[in-house]
Each structure stands twice: as C-alpha cells, then as structure tokens.
Amino acid sequence: MRPTPRLAALATAVPPYAIDQETVVTLLRGLLGGSARLEHLLPVFANSGIERRYSVAPPDWFDAPHGWRDRHRLYLKGALDLIETVAGRLLDKAGVRPDEIGGIVTVSTTGIATPSLDALLIERMGLPRTVQRLPIFGLGCAGGAIGLGRAAAMAAAIPDRAVLFLVVELCTLAFRRHDDSKSTIVADALFGDGAAGALLRCAGPGPAIIACGDYTWPDSLDVMGWDVAEDGFKAIFSRDIPHLVAAGLGPAARGFLDRHGFALGDVDRFVCHPGGPKVIAACEAAFGLPNGALTEARDVLREFGNMSAASVLFVLERVLASARESGERWERALVTALGPGFTAGFALLSNG
C-alpha cells in the first residue's frame, strides 16, 4: 500500500505592519486625488469584510515610487524571514529535528527568487544537503490547496522523512500608486501579506491527506492572473469570478470526490479560500451550505485580508483548532481554493 501522508503540524505568520482599511483609503485618495473611479469604487473597501491586513513594508513605503529592483529586494528578505519563522514553528510543534527533513515544497506567486526560496532556506536553517526541493510559482490563490497535494505526493515518496510545505505571499508589493483601474483598486481593497505551512510525514498522529486533485476550466485563462508592467505585477480579475465559483465549483468538487469513492455528503468540514465576501458566499452556495456557514473563512478574511495562497492554510488551522477545542468529531474535511488557470485545487483530509 502507498504510505499515507499526515499533517503533523500547521503554522502561520504575518509581517509586522498592520494596516486598516481607512489607512489604505486615505493613501489612495492622496495618490489618486480627484479620481472619479476611485470614489465610485470606495464601497468595495467598506463591503470587503476586512478590518485590517498586514504588510511587509511600513505604510509610508507606499508613498514613494518603487520599481522591480526595490520590490524584489523587499520580497526576498520579507518572504525568507516569514517562511523561516513558519518552518521553525512547524519543527517545534511536530517535535521534528532539522536533520529529519527530506523535502521542501515552497509556493509563492507574488515574487520571483532564483535561487528559489527553498534553497535560501536550506542555507539559512542548515537543513540537510540531500533535501528534495520543489519551488512552485504561478498558482496564485489556488497554491495553498494544490501545493498541499504536491507536498503530500513528495511525502508519500519519501515516507521515512518529513516534508516542509511552505507558502508565502507578499501581495502588497504589487501596489500601484497611480493606477485607478478597477482591478487594481479591488486588489488594493482585498490583498495582504502572510505565510503559512504544514509539516507532513507518514508516521505519527495528524489528519491524513487521502486524496488531492485539480480541475481547470476551459477557455478561462483570462479570469485571473498577473499582467507584467514596467514597475511590477498588475492584477487581472474577472468580475465573473463569484458566478464561476457558484456555478462551477460544486460540480468540480463532486467529480473530484467521486473519482476517489466519496460524495459531497461524506464531507464534514469545508475549508475554503476566503477570496472575498462574494467568493465565500459563492462557495457556500456551491456546497449547499447555509449562508454564514464558513465562519473561519470570514474570520480570516476580516483579520488578515486575502493573502492569496496562504489564506486557506490560515482557515485550515482555525477549523482544526475549533474542532479540537469543542471536542466535535469530524471524519473528512475538504480543502479547496481557486486560482489562475482558472483552476480549483482540492485536498481531502481524513481524521480516522
């Protein structure tokens, strides 16, 4: 039988600078003074369900222009610091020594590193020279769910070793000072910075990862992604994303579960990426859940904003902690997130 990877530990981290929505609106009004489009879109900030977000840069950093070089330097330092923090917490929680690590999967779509973040982390933490490395770029918000599947496959392939799965997204570094396009202002209202991770191994306690999968919709390449501008990344969003989620996520999830011998009714917990209030509501509709059922997703969105791929792991950490604290039994949890492609990622966890 193929070894079954388990979640031995989960951990999260955020950078030091907390920024509330009022501060962002004040900054944008100063930079885009007189923009009719900004004034028209201000309700997006009020209706975002977000109270604060965290940034790798202090608020006054955004007052000045920054090109690729500045953004890249800040990305490398901030991303490496955060995943080192997460990795340290994972090792402590799981009681695993650094020399027991056999693989690292890193996910990030908000910056580029070559050598990649996993190689930099090996040097910083003194990890074994034989560690298998898998850096993943381009999955966007889906990276937390899809990357978990890739890390599970690696853990199953080296069952005598532990695997670090690390996600870091510094979305605020894509801030565009004088861009009042709708997609940019929506991004300004939603996105924040954060990191999360899991330690996987095939021995010991923890929820088992029993199935993973992806689904990519046809003719959907323009739904979400990056446009590369002279001074950095520029967000691309379709206004149809909530509709696509409400109409398409349910059938895709049922197909995934069916391929592995399960049905939607076999799932006790739904762990969904909190892309925004409309996306959370669309997930509830897709899975036949009551309005407001995805409490942990809304809480993470309110407290941290949309941290792209890292967010779903923040939600998973809270869902599992809530079940432990309440003593509520669960058998299966479905982790899902959507990102550029347009693609849904799925991971099915078992508490058996």
Catalytic residues: 141
State the chain's maximal CA–CA distance in angstroms.
65
Cβ distance 274 to 298 under 8 Å? yes
Please state, in angstroms and as integers, the Cα–Cα distance from residue 308 to each residue in 168, 171, 195, 272, following that order. Answer: 9, 7, 10, 12
**And the tokens for 300?**
């993470």
Name the pairing type of β-strands 232-237 and 269-272.
unpaired
Report the alpha-carbon distance of residue 238 to residue 338 in Å, rounded. Answer: 13
Question: What is the DSSP-derived secondary structure letter of residue 56?
Answer: S
Report the alpha-carbon distance of residue 288 to residue 268 in Å, rounded. Answer: 12
Q: Which helix (H) or strand (E) holds 325?
A: helix 311-326
Q: List own/partner pairs for 28-34 with CB under 8 A and 24 or more apart.
A: 28/185, 28/188, 30/63, 31/177, 31/178, 32/178, 32/180
